[in-house]
């Protein structure tokens, strides 16, 4: 990875929503930088704030009851206080988006091709209809849609899930954005199709130097495509590091739990699947200190104090976590039956 300048920088991003039950701090201080050609995976469960983070970057969480603080810089330009018109111009043009459900992302009553043509012409007024259409055929080819010339005139329902997701990616890439945000792009797909889409994303990444934010709950998907990983829990980043750091030297007990609870085809099956007990906390009633504390078997007195996100091990710059345990102690504690995992509560 070349240490080129970051294309996207997110600093101290906080997003709160006013609800009947009080203020929900959905995102609570997220920081990261994204460089061209890099894939950053944001991992977490429902309610961890991963999707809200992505949506806020492209200005989709703006509303009267949302409180957005911090900074999102795209190539040096601040987006948090940018006008709605600027954001509209920028979405698609500079930041492309792919969502989880390709069925609801297209308008069912228009031909897929013409929807993408429309998107292109909305941003590039000087591009003629025929030229835009030719461009869509080209894009369909590049994302592996067979018979592109014919398929551009199909309706969304005539596409299978995998093909629709390819069309979605083609649309996201139509204006050659510098950043791609993919929110659970393969969750609704079958595994064989998922493998194709992941390979496609990886290829686009390398060929076009595209900076990608991949939001997922699936660590298998992360291992396939990510360069760096952000683990989120209850609105906060609890650990961040390179792909290998997160998988082979994870520092936060929640990360251990996620890694441990995976069913792995490449290993003999354990008698019992290691689990994380309890459930994610309500954002309206977070515990004091570390939010993972009530589910953590390694909790001790200091955990009622909120740990900051910082480097806690000496040999890995940039590998940060929010856990008070001593790194050496962590390395011993995370070994459960010879594998990384979260020990069962006493």
**Binding interface with another protein (CB under 8 A):** 45-46, 144, 161, 190-192, 194-196, 198-200, 203, 217-224, 243-244, 247-248, 257-259, 261-266, 269, 272-277, 279-280
Name residue, tokens 């649309």.
171
Distance CA 165, CA 159 (A): 9
- For another protein, the closer of residues 110 and 248 by Cβ is 248
* CA dist., res. 334 & res. 274, Å (int): 12
Determine contact, residues 30/40, Cβ cutoff 8 Å: no
Q: Which is nearer to another protein, 58 or 291 (CB)?
A: 291
**Whether 239 contacts 246, CB under 8 Å:** yes
Give the pairing of strands 228-233 and 236-242. Answer: antiparallel
Q: Give the nearest distance from C-beta 113 to another protein in angstroms.
A: 21
Contact at 8 Å (CB) between 211 and 41?
no
- Judge contact between 7 and 181, C-beta under 8 A: no
Smallest distance from the beta carbon of 19 to another protein, in angstroms? Answer: 15
Least distance from C-beta 143 to another protein, angstroms?
Answer: 8
How far apart are CB 203 and another protein at their closest, in Å?
6
Q: In the complex with another protein, which residue's Cβ is closer, 279 or 304?
A: 279
Helix (H) or strand (E) holding 181: strand 179-183
Measured distance CA(79)–CA(82) in Å, rounded = 5
CB-nearer residue toward another protein: 116 or 222? 222
- Minimum distance from CB of 118 to another protein (Å)? 27
CA distance 56 to 53: 5
Question: To the nearest whole angstrom, how small is the minimum distance from the Cβ of residue 201 to another protein?
Answer: 10
């Amino acid at each position: 990875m070349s240490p080129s300048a970051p294309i996207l920088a997110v600093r101290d991003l906080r997003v709160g929503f006013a609800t009947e039950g009080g203020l929900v701090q959905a995102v609570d201080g997220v920081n990261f930088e994204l460089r061209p050609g890099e894939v950053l995976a944001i991992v977490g469960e429902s309610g961890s704030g991963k999707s809200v983070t992505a949506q806020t970057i492209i200005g989709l969480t703006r509303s009267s009851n949302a409180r957005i603080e911090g900074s999102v810089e795209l190539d040096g330009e601040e987006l948090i206080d940018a006008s709605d018109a600027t954001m509209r111009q920028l979405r698609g043009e500079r930041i492309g988006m792919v969502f989880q459900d390709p069925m609801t992302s297209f308008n069912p009553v228009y031909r897929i091709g013409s929807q993408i043509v429309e998107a292109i012409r909305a941003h590039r007024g000087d591009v003629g209809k025929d030229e835009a259409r030719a461009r869509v055929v080209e894009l369909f080819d590049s994302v592996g849609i067979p018979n592109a010339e014919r398929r551009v005139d199909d309706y969304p329902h005539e596409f299978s899930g995998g093909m629709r997701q390819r069309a979605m990616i083609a649309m996201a890439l139509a204006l050659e954005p510098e950043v791609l945000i993919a929110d659970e792009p393969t969750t609704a797909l079958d595994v064989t199709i998922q493998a194709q889409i992941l390979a496609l994303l990886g290829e686009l990444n390398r060929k076009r130097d595209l900076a990608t934010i991949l939001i997922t709950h699936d660590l298998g998907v992360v291992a396939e495509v990510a360069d760096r990983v952000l683990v989120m829990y209850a609105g906060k980043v609890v650990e961040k590091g390179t792909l290998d750091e997160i998988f082979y030297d994870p520092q936060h007990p929640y990360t251990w739990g996620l890694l441990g609870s995976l069913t792995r085809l490449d290993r003999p099956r354990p008698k019992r699947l290691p689990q994380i007990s309890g459930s994610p906390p309500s954002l309206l009633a977070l515990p004091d200190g570390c939010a993972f504390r009530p589910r953590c078997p390694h909790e001790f007195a200091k955990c009622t104090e909120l740990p900051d996100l910082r480097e806690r091990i000496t040999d890995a710059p940039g590998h940060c976590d929010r856990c008070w345990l001593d790194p050496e102690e962590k390395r011993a504690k995370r070994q459960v039956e010879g594998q990384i995992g979260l020990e069962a509560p006493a």
